[in-house]
Structure 1
Amino acid sequence: MFASPKTASSMRWHDEGRTKDGMLRHPADSPAWKAFDDRHPEFASDARSVRLGLATDGFNPFRTMSSTYSTWRVVLVPYNLPPWMCMKQSSLILSMVIPGDKGPGNDIDVFLQPLIEELKQLWEGIDAFDAFTGQTFKLRAALIWTINDFPAYANLSGWSTKGRIACPSCGDSTHSYWLKNGGKFCYMGHRRWLEPNHPFRFQNDLFDSTTELRSAPIPPTGTEVLRQMHGTNYIPGKVSKCLKKRGREDVGSSLNEGLISEILEDANFFENDDNAYGQENDDDTLVASTHKQLWKKRSIFF
């Protein structure tokens, strides 16, 4: 890989040329960026190490609402450039395009496998030439986060972003209401993120007729997420529909077999001392079972 002097100097911008006026001008000022640098100081010591963000979403290429055709593009955003450069079209990296008559869903991991392998190679480092210094160095890159809406977030992470517990960060603390007339859930409780003495917390007549005294939920750590995924099994590929109509006896036997296998699977899951939670009361068992159902797969990013 060859780096021009202009590019090499721009890659050093996030450490030297950024003005700090108390405002978040660039993702380099974010807590996630700084936490990553603290965890990987060797990676952060070289200003040429590339930080990447992955953005993906589906769109209809035919500009007609009557067609359900959905094409998904996967774009990498390099954040080592100044904010007026990293979001320009010339700086974005179109890594792949996933065509299809509908979205890939949870099977998007199948398409992302080559990209993940290349990102692993970049994390280990590849030989590159710095034209600014005239020397060869090990170029490393890291994927810091993904950028997507909630439906795409469900496909990438494997968490079900629908229903009562739709927020992966809030988890069981998700504050949701079922709208009887609307026939859908609405998500409230936004005042929990305000300061403890904020006046909005006590203005119950302007919100949902309640006083908000709760604190903001604590997002789960990576270790907790992996424990919640324990026992999740997902086989890529669409399930083929059975053309032959089954009889009543066949339907009943299949339902009983499925119920028995599910009970046995849950029993084996909670008998293990290294299970997701290792707690004995019924409430915690219900919570662990709920998490297991909400995680549809173990994402390729894990």
Structure 2
Amino acid sequence: MPVTLLGAAEIRALASELDVTPTKKLGQNFVVDGNSVRRIVQVAGVTAGERVVEVGPGLGSLTLAILETGASVVAVEIDHRLAARLPRTAAAHGVPESALVVVDADALRLSELPGEPTVLVANLPYNVSVPVLLHFLQTFPSLQRGVVMVQAEVGERLAAPPGSKVYGAPSVKAAWYGPWRLAGTVSRQVFWPVPNVDSVLVAFTRDPQPRGTEAERMRTFQIVDAAFQQRRKMLRQAVSGVLGGSSAAASAVLERAGVAPTARGEELGVEDFLRIARAS
């Protein structure tokens, strides 16, 4: 039998059965519109036979839309009640048992995933979206691309280029792994409960080769954090604490890296920060 999607009434009934009230603490807003979840899957380009990891499947709206394509899903859910119920919901909607694996865990603490998924598709809780994305990209090199629904402000920051008003540490850290782009807006009305923020889809593709070693990534991120903690200051002052302890020492490193000591962090791309890391 073909996979069918959850309707709004069934989602509310499931929540009532499980005594689940969407909580701000877990950033839960359930998608109740079938067209919206299908659109996310379409933007992600999910095809039959692919293995997809979904973070925060909740009651299963997006999960079923992914499974509808013939892909298999590893669903990571922190709420034990939702994790326990999801396989039954999937079975009732025509999903073969072998197509879905539910991992009952905190996504931020995961160090392994079954089956090496290549695609990440998720409606990410607003409060942990950036940490989850960076953790998954760092921890699971099998992930080649993905589309996530996040708060508009977060998505714009992830996809921001150098020089943009919203460009910051998350923009640089995300770019370490490859390019990001905004891939569409999402109406507040497709969620239950209706959030008081706008949402967007943001897509990424991992670069074919790692940008640097793990030690270089850690050093680069340390410099990025310092640069944006004091983003209005010139780099020679902002990063002096991690580049020799004085503005003169920092200036020497920056000059070796080919970066003007008077520049500010918001002007630099990820490759600039990597050159600074290597020069230090």
**Taking structure 2 as the reference length, what is the TM-score of the superposition?**
0.32
- Rg larger in structure: 1
